[in-house]
């Protein structure tokens, strides 16, 4: 959550949640840029009863968000109190609005391709490498916030290498974890490494840990300067981290800062929901769903499924069942997944898929439910 790009994602999603608190039909497309002592928030917003001091409210919310992440002043990675903040928000384009709202029929808020994926190789029905990578950074955050290892700071990244055999994961070969730290650890990287292995890496790996795993820890030799003081952050640059870790295809659209009329977010959530239910129903061991939309048009321009040869019934039958069981228009997606709520800030860290956040509330991560299994089985006669 402390990586500069994810800081930007979280601020953008906090602005979206703020607008949705006023109006469940709010339209938001918000981008954040953060570096050194500068924070810029820009984009489009449209909602009922927004306050006259909207920019001041957004600025204060952004500073509070940065504090919640763990950046508390100079030397920590960002100073939320001393930073310069610029807000550049405007109304939604009337050309986009007329196509999306379209006389009461909600059209797609953008054009493009969206993919969803699921595999039965983990309980989460997600690829193992991204599951373990997200566990690593989540454990780093938990250990840092609990003070178990003194001097850990918010910026961190993880990467997992796994050996595959016989169509599935065999063992973890290497773990890479880089974590920002207090200067007290600059000349004690070996000691910090031992603590991180014991309190972060081993618990996150669980049964996948073995003593032969190669551990890469802060490979440059230290990681004192981190956060936006060490690297620029921008909304939407972590699209592979947000989804399946490169294991499935990606349409190119980012998620954070966009309301659910933007199908590059909501249809990606829907595609995950569909693919997960197909796999959970036992119709295939893995499933990748592709959707495409035209801006202002409600129905998808294409729907296709690829089970990579693991299907137990004909792929065409699965595709037909999906079309009957799930409503794939923007309004249908929003209704089925209950997306018109301020639920989005928790999506901005530790992955949008394969988990339920601690901050669960109405509509939170509904795309992770497996509640359409019986409907799919019935449609294919399974």
User: Residue 102's pLDDT is what?
Assistant: 60
Answer yes or no: are the C-beta atoms of 27 and 92 closer than 8 Å: yes
- Residue 96 predicted with pLDDT over 70: no
Nearest-CA neighbor of 63 among 73, 75, 50? Answer: 73
Residue-averaged pLDDT of the chain: 94
pLDDT of residue 110: 80
Which pairs count as long-range contacts for 156-164, CB under 8 Å and 24+ apart, including other chains? 156/2, 156/3, 156/180, 157/3, 158/132, 158/133, 158/134, 159/133, 160/128, 160/129, 160/130, 160/132, 160/133, 160/136, 161/129, 162/128, 162/129
**What's the pTM value of the predicted model, to 2 decimals?**
0.95
Q: What does the pLDDT read at residue 166?
A: 87
Lowest mean pLDDT among 104-113, 204-213, 285-294: 104-113
Q: Read off the pLDDT of residues 310-326 as tens digits, 9 standing for 90 and up.
A: 999 999 999 999 999 99
Both tokens of 90, joined, read: 């405007």
Residue owning tokens 């190789």: 121
- Does pLDDT of 212 surpass 80? yes
pLDDT of 100 > 90? The answer is: no
Alpha-carbon gap, residue 345 to 9, rounded angstroms: 8
Question: What is the spatial distance between Cα 207 and Cα 195, in angstroms, rounded to a whole number?
Answer: 19
Model confidence pLDDT, tens digit, residues 231-278:
999 999 999 999 999 999 998 889 999 999 999 999 999 999 999 999
| DSSP structure class, residue 345 | G
pLDDT for 116: 98
pLDDT at 362 over 80: no
- What is residue 93's predicted lDDT score, i.e. its pLDDT? 67
Q: What is the pLDDT of residue 94?
A: 67
Query: What are residue 214's phi and psi, to 5 degrees?
Result: -80, 125
pLDDT at 192: 98
* SS3 of residue 116 by DSSP: strand
Over residues 157-176, mean pLDDT: 94
Q: pLDDT tens digits, residue range 325-361?
A: 999 999 999 999 999 999 999 999 999 999 988 765 6
Rounded Cα distance, 337 and 55, in Å? 30
Give the model confidence (pLDDT) of 38-75 as tens digits: 999 999 999 988 899 999 999 999 999 999 999 999 99
What pLDDT score does 80 carry?
A: 96
Q: Residue 206 pLDDT more than 60? A: yes
Residue 1 has pLDDT above 80, yes or no: yes
- Cross-sheet strand order for the sheet of 233-234: 84-90, 38-46, 27-35, 233-234
Residue 210 pLDDT > 90: yes
- Asked if residue 368 lies in contact with residue 353, where contact means CB atoms within 8 angstroms, the answer is yes
Tell whether the model's pLDDT for residue 99 goes beyond 80.
no
What percentage of the chain has pLDDT greater than the value 70? 95
């Amino acid at each position: 959550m402390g990586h500069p790009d994810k800081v930007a994602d979280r601020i953008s999603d906090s602005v979206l949640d703020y607008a949705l608190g006023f109006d469940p039909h709010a339209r938001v497309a918000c981008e954040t840029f953060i570096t050194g002592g500068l924070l810029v928030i820009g984009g489009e917003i449209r909602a009922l009863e927004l306050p006259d001091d909207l920019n001041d409210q957004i600025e204060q919310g952004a500073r509070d968000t940065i504090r919640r992440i763990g950046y508390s002043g100079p030397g920590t990675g960002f100073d939320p109190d001393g930073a310069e903040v610029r807000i550049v928000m405007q109304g939604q384009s009337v050309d986009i609005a007329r196509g999306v709202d379209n006389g009461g029929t909600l059209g797609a808020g953008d054009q493009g391709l969206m993919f969803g994926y699921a595999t039965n190789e983990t309980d989460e029905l997600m690829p193992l490498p991204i599951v373990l990578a997200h566990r690593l950074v989540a454990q780093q955050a938990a250990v840092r916030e609990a003070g178990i290892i003194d001097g850990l700071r918010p910026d961190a990244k993880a990467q997992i290498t796994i050996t595959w055999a016989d169509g599935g994961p065999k063992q973890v070969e290497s773990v890479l974890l880089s974590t920002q730290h207090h200067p007290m650890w600059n000349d004690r990287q070996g000691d910090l490494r031992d603590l991180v292995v014991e309190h972060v890496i081993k618990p996150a790996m669980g049964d996948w840990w073995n003593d032969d795993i190669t551990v890469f820890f802060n490979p440059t030799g230290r990681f004192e300067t981190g956060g936006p003081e060490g690297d620029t952050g921008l909304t939407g640059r972590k699209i592979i981290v947000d989804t399946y870790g490169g294991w499935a295809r990606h349409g190119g659209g980012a998620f954070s800062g966009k309301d659910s009329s933007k199908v590059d977010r909501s249809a990606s959530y829907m595609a995950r929901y569909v693919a997960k239910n197909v796999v959970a129903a036992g119709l295939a061991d893995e499933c990748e769903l592709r959707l495409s939309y035209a801006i202002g048009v409600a129905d998808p321009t294409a729907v296709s499924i690829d089970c990579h040869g693991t299907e137990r019934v004909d792929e065409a039958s699965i595709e037909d069942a999906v079309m009957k069981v799930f409503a794939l228009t923007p309004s249908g997606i929003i209704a089925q997944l209950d997306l018109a709520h301020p639920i989005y800030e928790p999506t901005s860290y530790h992955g949008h898929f394969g988990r339920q956040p601690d901050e669960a509330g109405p509509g939170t991560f509904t795309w992770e439910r497996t509640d359409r299994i019986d409907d799919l089985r019935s449609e294919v006669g399974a």
